[in-house]
Structure 1
Amino acid sequence: MTPRTLFLSDLHLPPGPSPFREGFRRFLEGPARDAEAVYILGDLFQYWIGDDLGMQEYAAEVALLATLSQQGVKLYFQRGNRDFLIGEDFCALSGMELLRDPAVIELYGSIIVLSHGDLLCTDDIGYQRWRRFAHNPTAQRIFRAMPRVWRERIAQRVRQRSNTGKRYKPEDIMDVNATAVEAFFKLSGAHQLIHGHTHRPAQHDLAEGMQRIVLADWRPERMEYLAMTREGMFRLTV
Structure 2
Amino acid sequence: MQNFNHLITTRPHEVRQVLISDLHLSPEEPALVQAFLALLDDCLALPALKRLFILGDWFEVWLGDDVYLSLSVDERQTHWLTPLIVKLKALRVDGCEILVMHGNRDFLLDQPFCNLFGGELIYEPYTLNVGQKNYRLEHGDALCTDDKKYQFFRKIMRNRLTQWYLLNKSLEKRLAIADKMRQKSQRNNANKATHIMDVNADAVSTVMADSDALLHGHTHRPDIHQTANDKIRYVLGDWRLLDKETRQPKVSAVIGAVIDDEQSNDSFSSNDAEFGLFEFKALV
Q: Shorter-chain TM-score category?
A: over 0.9
Q: Which runs of 5+ in 1 are unaligned?
A: none
Secondary structure of the 2:104 match is coil
Q: By how many angstroms is 1:231 displaced? A: 4.2
1:163 to 181, 186, 192: 186
Task: Sort the Cα spacing of 1:201 and 1:88 in 2 relative to 1 into closer, same or farther, 3 A.
Answer: same
| Higher share of residues assigned helix | 1
Once the two structures are superposed, what CA deviation does each residue of 1:160-216 show, in whole Å capped at 9, x if it has no partner? 111111110111111101111011111xx2111000000111000123330000000
Residues 184-203 of structure 1: pairs in structure 2 closer than 5 A: 184-186=207-209, 189-203=210-224
> What is the CA-CA distance between 1:107 and the residue it aligns to?
2.3
Q: Are 2:21 and 1:4 aligned? A: no
1:1-238 map, 5 Å: 1-16=13-28, 18-31=30-43, 33-34=45-46, 35-54=49-68, 58-186=81-209, 189-221=210-242, 222-229=252-259, 230-238=273-281
What amino acid is aligned across from residue 195 of structure 2 in structure 1?
A: D
Q: What TM-score does the superposition give when structure 1 sets the normalisation length?
A: 0.93
Gaps of 5+ in 2: 1-12, 72-78, 243-251, 260-272
**Structure 1 residues 168 and 63: alpha-carbon distance in aligned structure 2, compared to 1, 3 A threshold:** same
Change (3 A) 1:2 1:66: same
Which is higher, the Rg of structure 1 or of structure 2?
2
Change (3 A) 1:91 1:232: closer
CA distance, structure 1, for counterparts of residue 84 and residue 67 of structure 2 = 14
Q: In the superposition, relative to structure 1, how do residues 144 and 226 fare at CA in structure 2: closer, same or farther (>3 Å)?
A: same
Shift in CA distance, 33/131, structure 1 to aligned 2, threshold 3 Å: farther
Deviations along 1:58-96, whole A, 9 cap, x unmatched?
A: 222122212211110111111000000001101211222
CA deviations 1:72-131 (Å, max 9, x no partner) are 011111100000000110121122221111111212332000010000001101001111
| Aligned-partner Cα distance in 2 for 1:125–1:109 | 36
Instruction: Name the CA shift for 1:17/1:172 in 2 (closer, same or farther; >3 Å).
Output: closer
Q: Is the alpha carbon distance of 1:107 and 1:232 closer, same or farther for their aligned partners in structure 2, counting shifts above 3 Å? A: closer
Moved more, 226-235 or 210-219: 226-235
Q: Is the 8 A contact 1:191 1:209 kept in 2?
A: no
How many angstroms apart in 2 are the aligned matches of 1:51 and 1:81?
A: 16
Letter in 1 for 2:53: Y
Structure 2 CA distance for partners of 1:27 and 1:172, relative to 1, 3 Å: same
What CA distance in whole angstroms lies between the structure 1 residues aligned with 2:195 and 2:21? 21
Superposed displacement of residue 16, structure 1:
4.0
Change (3 A) 1:133 1:33: farther
Question: Are the counterparts in 1 of residues 227 and 233 from structure 2 also a CA contact under 8 Å?
Answer: yes
Aligned alpha-carbon RMSD (Å): 1.6
Aligned length in residues: 236
Measure how far apart 1:136 and its partner are: 1.2
Distance across 2 between alignment mates of 1:74 and 1:83: 20
8 Å contact 1:10–1:44 — kept in the other structure? yes
Distance 1:139 1:103 in 2: 24
Q: CA deviation at 1:139?
A: 1.2
State the distance in 1 between where 2:64 and 2:131 align.
35
SS in structure 1 opposite 2:121? strand
State the shift of 1:233 in Å: 1.0
